[in-house]
Every structure is written in C-alpha cells, then in structure tokens.
Structure 1
Amino acid sequence: MALPMKRTLVALHRARCSSLKNAEASLDLRPPGPLYLPVRTKKRYFVPPAVGQKGHKQENPEAKARAAGIVIKQQYVERPINIACTGTGIFDPYIPPEGDARLSTLSKEGLKQRTEQMRQSASSQLAIRKIKDHDSEFATKSFAERAQEIFTEAHNALTQFNKEKLHSLVTERCYPEMTRGNRYKTISWRFVESLEPPKVVHARCPDMVTKGNLYGQVTVRMHSKQILAIYDRFGRLMLGSEEQSKDVLEYLVIERHLVNPYGRWRLHGKIVPSWAPAKDPIIKTLMIPGPELRPGQEFDALNYEVPKPEAVQWSK
C-alpha cells in the first residue's frame, strides 16, 4: 500500500515541475542580469605622442581639430581689476625738502625751501579746484585734520585686527602693505600728541583709463609723537617700546575716486624721503636649549649653566 502511494506522489511532483517549466518558457522569465548605463565622458582633444616620434615634427593640434570638424574654444586669461583705487601707486609723488621739521623758516636754507614750495604749488591749486568740483565739502584746513583721524583709526583697527573697519579706511593697494607679516605678531600702537598741526602740501587729480575718470590724491604732512611696540608670537619684544615715545614725521597720501558719489577718502600710502633716518633694527631672539627634566622635577635657573657649543674643525 505504501509503495503505490509513493509512486503517485513522485508522479505528481514531476508533473508539477514540468508545468512550472512550461509556464516560464511561455512567459520568457529570466533572472535579472547586470544593468549597464552608458555615461558620456568629457571629450579629450589631447592625444599623447606615439613612441619613437621624438625627433619628428609635431602637427598643429588646432589645424588638426579644424580638419576633423571640431571647434576648440578660445581660452581668455582674465585678471580682475579694482576701480575703487589706483593700483599703480602715487602719481607725481611729493618730494619732501631735506631737513624738514629741523630747519626754521628764518634760516637761509629754510627760506629757500619755502620759496620752492610756493613755486610748485600752482599744479596743486589746479588739482584742488578739480577736487572741489566733485567734493563740495573739501577744504585744505579741515581735510588735514580728517586725514589725521583716518590715520589714527586705521592703525587702531590694525592693532585690534578689525579687517572690516580697516578695509573701509585704507585702499586695496595699502591694505596688503599694512597687514603683510603680522599674522603671528602682536602690535601695540598709540597716538600721543601732534607736535605740529597737519597740513596739505601736495595735491594731484589724474585721469585713469578714460578721460573724466578722476582720482584725487592729497598728500598731508603730519608731525606727531607716537608709541609703537611689536611682539612676536612668543610675547617677546621685537621692535620699539611701550614706554618710550618717538617723534615721527610722515607724509600721508589720501585718495578718493571722485567720480563715484559714494566714494570716501582713504589712506593710500606713505612717502618716505631718501634722507630719512634708517629704521631701528629688529631684536631677534633665540631659544637656549635647557636640560631634560624628569616628571615632577623643577628647573633651577640659577644653578644651570648654558652649554657651550662644541668646537668644529672646518678644514684640515
């Protein structure tokens, strides 16, 4: 009885499998295969040279591309420019007379300098008239005081690392000159007093690029007393002193884009005369190697002797 039952079940199983295979064949059901999507890559016009073609003359790639019907786009080398200030520098810079702030006007040499300045002031008067046409509030007396305020505010912003305020007080040409090399330094600057009232000594109003695109450059003489101290990143003094003030004679160049109704007067640069005294040297500090201390051991500077460098024989 069990054997015929088994044969019946096997026959039913085979019939079921054959029916499933026939159904798959009729529906054409296949297992899913890998899906490939064609991706268009960037056309590369450069073809590496063939091996052994070193001495042969290379063909012009542009002519070859034209013959193949391919248009190569022309590459333009563009450089951004800024029209808010003049990038060339100072036009017709003022030449300070030798011995300025040391010679009195009553001496013979002082009178010569005074008469020479009066002769050269004709072009400055013409420039001042052009500036007044675009800036009705411009006056030489009040402008000199305003230039001194711009100078002090710009240096205070430099010591506080206020970039936004410094950008509004100095031009794009003067900004990198003031901030270059100050990343790891601490600057302490203070304006003490004005030894002489500031005055306008020079003015120019040149055109740039096109006629009528005017820039006003005014040179202001400022004789003041200032305090400057610069520290390195370890807090060691490099230049100057916070206790001792110095007399400083400077010639500031203030510039403005006159055509721009929203333009403002900003510090553009300084004129350093050839006869000016040399700057103080920077105090360079060195690290003295100390002893190797164990954990918990304190360093006694009084009993420590600095090791002398060993003698080196440079030549036999």
Structure 2
Amino acid sequence: MATSMTRTFGALRSVTCSSLKNAELALDVRHPGPLFLPVRTKKRYFIPPAVGLKGKKEENPEAKAQAAGIVFRQQYFERPINIACSAGVFDPYIPPEGDARLSALSKEGLKQRTEQIRQSATSQLAIRKIKEHDSEFSTKTFAELAQEIFVEAHNTLTHFNREKLHSLVTERCYPEMTRGNRYKTIRWRFVESLEPPRVVHARCPDMVTKGNLYGQVTVRMHSKQTLAIYDRFGRLMLGSEEQPKDVLEYLVIERHLINPYSRWRLHGKIVPSWAPPKDPVIKTVAIPGPELKPWEEYDALNYEVPKPASVQWNK
C-alpha cells in the first residue's frame, strides 16, 4: 500500500514539473509561444475605405454597399413645420383704393364704407371664435394694443434686442424685419397717430389639423413716423431723422389660440397695390484723388477737387 502511494505521488510530481517547464518555455523570450489564436467569427461584407489615402479615387459607398447586399436608408429632405405661427396671411385684407385720401362723406367714400360693412360678416364670425379662446379680446381695445406692439417691436429692432424681438414678432416676421440690417444703423421714431387705429379684418383659420386655430387680425394704422438708415461708414442711405412722413399701414397681428401661453405678435404687413413706391437708396461714390507716392502726404499737396465742366443742354 505504501509502495503504491509513493508511486502515485511520484507520477503527480513528474506531471507537475513537466507542465511548469512547458509554461516556462511558453513565457520564455527566447522561445515565444502563441498567447492567443485569432478566430474568424463573422465575415465582413462591407469594409470601409482606409483613412489618409491620397491619390486614390473615392469609390461610391452606396454602390459598393448595394453590391454587397446592404441597403442604405433613404434620406428625406423636408422643411420643418413651426406650429407656433402660420406660414402666411390667410385671406388677406384688400385695402380700398384711395384710403386715407377720400372723405367718408364723398361718393367714393360712401361706396367703400358700404363694401366694408358687407364684407364684415366673415370677420364677425372669426371674432366670435377668437373670443371663445381669448375672453379678454375686444375690437375697441385691441387696436391700441396692436399699435403698442408695433411701436415696441420697431424700437427693439433699432437696438436689436434679439430675445425681446422674438416675443413681439412671429417666426415668419422676424427674418423679414432683420434681413439686410447687418452693419447698418437704424433710427426710427413714432411721432404721433393721425387717426385712431381700428380693426378692419379678422380671420380664424386652422392649419395641419382641424381645431388647430390661429387668430389673425388686421389693424389699420395711420401715423407720422421718422426713419433714417445709415451704412457701416455712417453715411445716410435712406430717409431722414428730422423730416417725419405720413404712413398708412395695415398690420396683421397673430396668435396661436389653442396655446394658453401664447400672445399676440406682429405677423406681417399688407401693402396695397396702389401704394406709392418706396424712396430710392441714396448712393455715395468715392471721388478719385491724386496718386500719392510713398513719401508724399495728401495734405501737403493742397489738391483741389476738379469740378465738372459745364455742358450746354439747350442752344
């Protein structure tokens, strides 16, 4: 019994010694052995192009993926929809020709007045819808509110307070007011109101889904204003700060009615077809001077600007 146990321990000792020797040989630097074996588990159907290769033509990845049997997801280029305001003016108000020039007692003025009363039936239905969602709405007080929004929005535009301007105008009106104003200085002032503002048109359309209502109210405003625009060099481009002008405007004020946190904002203006054209931009040109050499100065030359020669137009 003792002899058999001695033989068993001897065999285990020899096996342990041989395994330790094999491990030492595997870890020996002089005789490196494979620590892991690469196993291919999945075949790659699409190999991306190498980074940094110059002088080689880039292959079409869609055609290569299609040949490999991989389908690319189709990309849709769609315009985003903003539900905070509508995309335009629904059923815009058509101002009568000669407005603010004809008296209400004249023949043409009476015709315009009767036509306005005839078209006000649709506006009355829209006002009822607006009052269902806005209990404080009233045509008597809303015109003054619209004028305050208009004045505050233009005063904010002159100082260009972006956050406040977004709360006064809609997302449709904002790019129209700020487009082309970079590197320019705007001086605008509201002088006085020639006639009290009044509501002339109202619509309450829905968009995207039924029940998504937007209230659009058109307000007629006849006032006196001053406007002056300067370029980045401080030169006058348009208007004048001292000379006020009579301006007749039709403002469209909009609100998203089903949103309880919405507010009335300036949405746009209606420009009638019979309105006079805008004043042209005052252009400034540089008068060419003498060609100076590096060691000369302009003040030392006493150069006089040449005057154009007189031309006889009529004999």
| TM-score bucket (shorter structure) | 0.7 to 0.9
| Cα distance change on mapping 1:173 and 1:112 into 2, 3 Å | same
One-letter identity of the residue aligned with 2:268: G
Indicate conservation of the 8 Å contact 1:231/1:238, yes or no: yes
1:215 corresponds to 2:214: yes
| Superposition pairs of residues 79-98 of structure 1, within 5 angstroms | 79-87=79-87, 89-98=88-97
Indicate conservation of the 8 Å contact 2:289/2:305, yes or no: no
1:168 corresponds to 2:167: yes
Q: State the Cα RMSD in Å.
A: 3.1
- Correspondence for 1:28: 29
User: CA shift at 1:81, angstroms?
Assistant: 1.7
One-letter identity of the residue aligned with 2:299: F
- Correspondence for 1:15: none
For 1:131 and 1:166, the matched residues in 2 are separated by 24
- Correspondence for 2:134: 135
Q: Which moved more, 1:230-239 or 1:295-304?
A: 295-304
- Correspondence for 1:203: 202
User: CA shift at 1:290, angstroms?
Assistant: 2.3
For 2:122 and 2:64, the matched residues in 1 are separated by 55
- Correspondence for 1:75: 75
| Cα distance change on mapping 1:302 and 1:123 into 2, 3 Å | farther
- Correspondence for 1:187: 186
| Superposition pairs of residues 1-316 of structure 1, within 5 angstroms | 27-29=28-30, 43-44=47-48, 48=59, 61=63, 64-65=66-67, 68-87=68-87, 89-291=88-290, 292=292, 297=297, 299=299, 303-306=303-306
| Cα distance change on mapping 1:260 and 1:295 into 2, 3 Å | farther
One-letter identity of the residue aligned with 2:202: A
Indicate conservation of the 8 Å contact 1:216/1:257, yes or no: yes
One-letter identity of the residue aligned with 2:171: E
Indicate conservation of the 8 Å contact 1:62/1:72, yes or no: no
Aligned positions, number: 265
For 1:27 and 1:262, the matched residues in 2 are separated by 77
For 1:85 and 1:236, the matched residues in 2 are separated by 37
Indicate conservation of the 8 Å contact 1:127/1:204, yes or no: yes
| Cα distance change on mapping 1:302 and 1:169 into 2, 3 Å | farther
User: CA shift at 1:300, angstroms?
Assistant: 7.3
Indicate conservation of the 8 Å contact 1:255/1:268, yes or no: yes
For 2:241 and 2:64, the matched residues in 1 are separated by 66
One-letter identity of the residue aligned with 2:304: Y
In structure 2, stretches of 5+ residues that fail to align are 1-23, 33-43, 50-56, 309-315
| Cα distance change on mapping 1:216 and 1:24 into 2, 3 Å | same
For 1:301 and 1:295, the matched residues in 2 are separated by 12
Indicate conservation of the 8 Å contact 1:293/1:299, yes or no: no
User: CA shift at 1:27, angstroms?
Assistant: 2.9
For 1:293 and 1:271, the matched residues in 2 are separated by 57
SS in 2 for 1:130: helix
User: CA shift at 1:161, angstroms?
Assistant: 1.2
SS in 1 for 2:82: coil
